[in-house]
Amino acid sequence: MLDRVWVNASLCTMSPRDGRDGLGIIEDGAVAARDGRIAWVGARRDLPTSGAEVVDLGGAWLLPGLVDCHTHLVFAGDRAGEFERRLAGATYEEIAREGGGILSTVRLTREASEEALIEGALPRLDSLLAEGVTTVEVKSGYGLDLPTEARMLRAARALDSRRTVSVRTSLLAAHAVPPEFSGRQADYARLVAEEIVPAVARDGIADAVDAFCDTIGFTAEETRWVFDAARRARLPVKLHADQLGDTGGAELAAEYGALSADHLEHASKAGLRAMAAAGSVAVLLPGATYFIREARMPDVAAMRAAGVRMAVSTDMNPGSSPTRSLLLMANMACTLYRLTVEEALLGITRHAAAALGLQDRGALEVGMRCDLGVYRISRPAELCYWMGHNPCTGRVVAGRDA
Ligand code: DI6
Ligand code: FE
């Protein structure tokens, strides 16, 4: 028995089977759901007859629900003032070294209640959902002490009771050095490893552990302490790696079998090959490249040559990527990084799901969650082509209209 079927649509299954290309296009297709999962997908003429409710999509395109796999969606305040300073000549790195940047968001986030964090995040989340996002990852990292990191993660987890969306959370306590540890970075990294990671794991409020391993972040050695703690707590790891300089982040992520390494503007070819061998996904964040005017782009040619899966995400955060649009990131991944449309769309669906360790979504395949996005477009390339236009007209989560 099928519960519901969607017909009169072209499908981007993102499932390259039966000689289809990477987008797995089925023209005049149909999708059917049972108990929140996809029970049937194929050409409409082959659809078995059933008593299911039929939804006519009027010729729209249907994709798996989009996955935004790297966001800092929960935070207090904004950093528009720093943006003005940067326009007057200051750099992102300079502002960070003066105690602004991430730490200015930390000051405001520490003062915010859980409810205030939720209320602040909801409009940003709504912008993502309006484009067809059905799964979103949210990081902590603006608390830098156990109570605030935990409050951020609980606020992120609570978003799925306010909206119809799957939320995955990552503990990013190793994001910056808090003011009370100024000059004692290693001591703070030890606190993260010895106290914050175990406590958050005990509370079961994080799905993964992330760290910022970079020239203005933590060293490779400090990152190891945090990753070893994650391993002891049986939590998978992810890494902000090689964004501002090559500190061996890609290699380190691969060594720990990370779900993903993210940014990677300065990653070495050897690091990318190690990631491919480890199955770690490269998460590309063109909004950050653009917003901080980073001249160097990730080495996409080396990623292709190595066979690393590429995802694309917003990195939505107040400092380096204040965007609310995943589709705009798909556009920028194509224009700035020269991804193909197929790569960009895989990057916000199947490969983004892989970056979160989720095998049950990101494609239209039997057995996967029935999370769908409906788009009023005439060809898939339009999803990457428009800048600042939202062609999404419907969203389905676990088989129900959302
Ligand atoms: N890399 C980023 O892009 C964000 N964090 C990080 O480690 C930036 C966060 C911020 O500037 O608030
Ligand atoms: Fe980030």
Q: pLDDT means per 10 residues in the chain (402 residues)? A: 94 82 92 97 93 95 98 97 93 86 96 98 98 98 98 98 98 97 97 98 98 94 98 98 94 98 97 98 97 94 97 97 98 98 97 98 98 98 98 98 95
Sort strands 238-241 and 208-213 into parallel, antiparallel or unpaired.
parallel
Q: Mutate which of 104, 222, 240, 293 to test ligand 1's pocket (most atoms within 8 Å of Cβ)?
A: 240
Is the C-beta atom of 323 inside 6 A of ligand 1?
no
Which ligand is located closest to the Cα atom of residue 290? Answer: 1
What is the four-CA torsion angle of 89, 93, 96, 98, rounded to 10 degrees? Answer: -60
What tokens were used for 10?
Answer: 């072209």
pLDDT in tens, 46-103: 999 888 999 999 999 999 999 999 999 999 999 999 999 999 999 988 898 888 899 9
Cβ burial of 51 (10 Å; 0-12, 13-18, 19+) is exposed
The pLDDT tens digits for 265-285 are 999 999 999 999 999 999 999
Q: Which atom of ligand 1 is nearest to the CA of 240?
A: 7
Nearest 5 degrees, angle CA 333-CA 338-CA 343?
A: 65
Question: Which amino acid type is present at position 181?
Answer: F
Residue 174 CB partners (closer than 8 Å, separation 6+): 189, 192, 210, 211, 212, 217, 218, 222, 223, 226
Helices (H), 163-215: 185-191, 197-203
Q: What is the pTM of this model?
A: 0.97
Ligand 1 atom with least separation from CA of 319: 11
Q: Which domains does the chain have, with CATH numbers?
A: 4-65+363-401 (2.30.40.10), 66-355 (3.20.20.140)
268 by Cβ neighbours in 10 Å (0-12 / 13-18 / 19+) ranks as middle
Residue nearest (by alpha carbon) to ligand 1 atom 11: 319
Are 28 and 10 spatial neighbours (Cβ–Cβ below 8 Å)? yes
